[in-house]
Amino acid sequence: MSASYVWLAVAIYIVMGLAIAWVGRRHLGIGMSEFFLANRTVGGLVSALTYSATTYSAFMMVGLAGFTYQGGVGALGFEFTYLCGLFLAVYFAPRFWLVGKRYNYISPAELLADRYQHKGAGVVAAVLALVFLVPYSAAQLMGIGFLVSGVSQGAIPVMAGIIIATILAVAWANIAGLRSVAWTDAMQALIMIVTSVVVLFFVVYLGFGGFGSFFQRMESDIPGLLTVPSETGMFNFKMYLGLCVPWVFFCLSNPQVSQRLFIPKSVRAMKQMIGGFLCFGFLYTLVTVMWGFTARLLVPGLAKADMASPSLLALAIVPRFLAIIVMVGVMAAAISTIDSILLTLSSMFTRDIYKNLRPEVEEARELSIGKWVIPIMSLVTLIFAIWASRETGLQVMIVSLSVASSAGLLMAVPSIIGAFLWRRATAAGALVSMIAGAILTMVLQLGGYKPWGHWAGIWGIIVCSLLFIVVSLLTSPPREKAEEFMGYLEEELPKHRFI
Amino acid sequence: MDGNGSQGSNKRASRGWLMWFIFLFFLDLVVPFTWLSHVQKVTGAFLFWILWTIVALASMFAIFLKWR
């Protein structure tokens, strides 16, 4: 495909995104809550679409499709297991939402600091996010790079895609904070879902003659990819468990997602957010995995599995204009995830780290610092992405990178659950469990160690949970705060029929 | 129903749903790796995970559609 058409499509996308972001800016008010949470007034549809676009991004159409290409049906189970982990959001979203409004929390780390009555709990949770979200953001940038390069058949280098995405993510996040991020997400999510479904139909009907023939080809040509473990050896039980456990807790462990639980303007909007996301997730996962299977049948033998989707889009049976729109849609979705992460990290740095060092800082100054954190973190992510994009093999595949990041973030989960459910939970328990769990996970990840074959996240969460319980039992809890916090929830939850 | 009564009923509902989802995740980990591990057909693990997800999503809808 001519590079000039791809550049033109990217240019149109930039103009559209900028226009939407500037409309968002016209509604922008003053203060941290306004910039980072749109003043908790986001409607149901936009909440659902921004939640979807923030969660589903390059790691789906590039990473998960690549995983399917290489490992088969286990990718479907893994991603659907994540989706069903939204049970945790159904349970905890009302709790986040209620206490967020009552105590005016900006970030999930601030919630921990207040609930445990210890600033350190917030600082450690923020540092965990700052460290472990870098590989996840880098995975998004890599996805864009591979996609643009693949669709343009190498005319546009991987690096150009990565750099454009970084600049745009910084711009989207800075123009109007969550308002520009959420509104651009909404547009991008719609493009993602519509174009990916349309392309799947094109590929299945023009490449195979229909879904019946497609399924027959799967059974006759790649039967070894229809079981777990697959014939390639991927998705054995321990690998599956190692991938799924961090992913199940994704909606709690990833602050850019859990921060979304603060933003719906009403109970109705929260219902729409969760329901909309579940429908979106089911359809998008199924479509993505089928992309992976179609790519395996139509373009076998790729050296790098993450090139499955770009190679599929480059096939003659996919109309060129559609391939370009899909490329822009996936690119936009990836950028929307990065800008959400940048926005969340910015809020955590300013509220949970900087404000603890300078408690007297005025809100305007705090916000100004936050806006500077966005480009700095994006630069760190860019450097990581450039390094990772030059590597090959499973270790730096996009999904693996994302899971490694989720494994680290998982270490905050016992403290988050304990904050809502256990009066006896203490700051010391939270601190020790997060720090020890994160160090253990990093050592295992970086050293490539898998004791008894189990992945870092599994060992991390076991050790982290035990430490949280034992240290909490040995130390004194903030009884007054725990009573006030949980008593408020116990009183409010039944009023809205929340479980 | 008084405050304590509704809180008690809420806790029972929470525990019931928690047990149900633990059961679902148990099926997710066991069925494809045992009974379906040699079924090299679309009607094996592929179909199982689709149906399993539909059941899990329907359960979540049953929970949050009651919110007021």
| DSSP labels, A244-271 | HHHHHTHHHH-HHHHGGGG-BSSHHHHH
According to the model, what pLDDT value does residue A394 have? 42
- Alpha-carbon distance of A109 to B23, in angstroms, equals 31
Question: Mutate which of B23, B46, B51 to test chain A, going by most A C-beta atoms within 10 A?
Answer: B46
Structure confidence at residue A395 as a pLDDT band (50, 70, 90)? very low
**3-state secondary structure (DSSP) of residue A234:** coil
Q: Which residues have C-beta within 8 Å of that of residue A69, sequence separation ≥ 6?
A: A292, A293, A295, A296, A302, A305, A308
- Cβ within 8 Å, pair A219-B40: yes
pLDDT digits (tens, 9 = 90+) for A370-388: 999 999 999 999 898 888 7
Segment among A398-402, B39-43, B44-48 with least mean pLDDT:
A398-402
| DSSP labels, A41-69 | -B-HHHHHHHHHHHHSSHIIIIIIHHHHH
pLDDT digits (tens, 9 = 90+) for B9-21: 778 888 999 999 9
Nearest Cα neighbor of A241 from A383, A78, A433, A118 is A78
Kindly report the number of other CB atoms within 10 A of residue A482's CB atom: 20
pLDDT digits (tens, 9 = 90+) for A425-445: 999 999 999 999 999 998 998
B58 contacts in A (CB within 8 Å)?
Answer: none
Q: How far apart are the first and last CA of chain B?
A: 17
Q: How far is A107 from chain B (nearest CA, A)?
A: 24
- Alpha-carbon distance of A22 to A188, in angstroms, equals 16
- For residues A115 and A306, the model is more confident at A115
Q: What pTM does this model have?
A: 0.93
pLDDT digits (tens, 9 = 90+) for A342-354: 999 999 999 999 9
B37 contacts in A (CB within 8 Å)?
Answer: 227-229
- Count CA atoms within 13 Å of residue A364 on its CB side: 2
The residue count of chain A comes to 499
Q: How far is A98 from chain B (nearest CA, A)?
A: 13
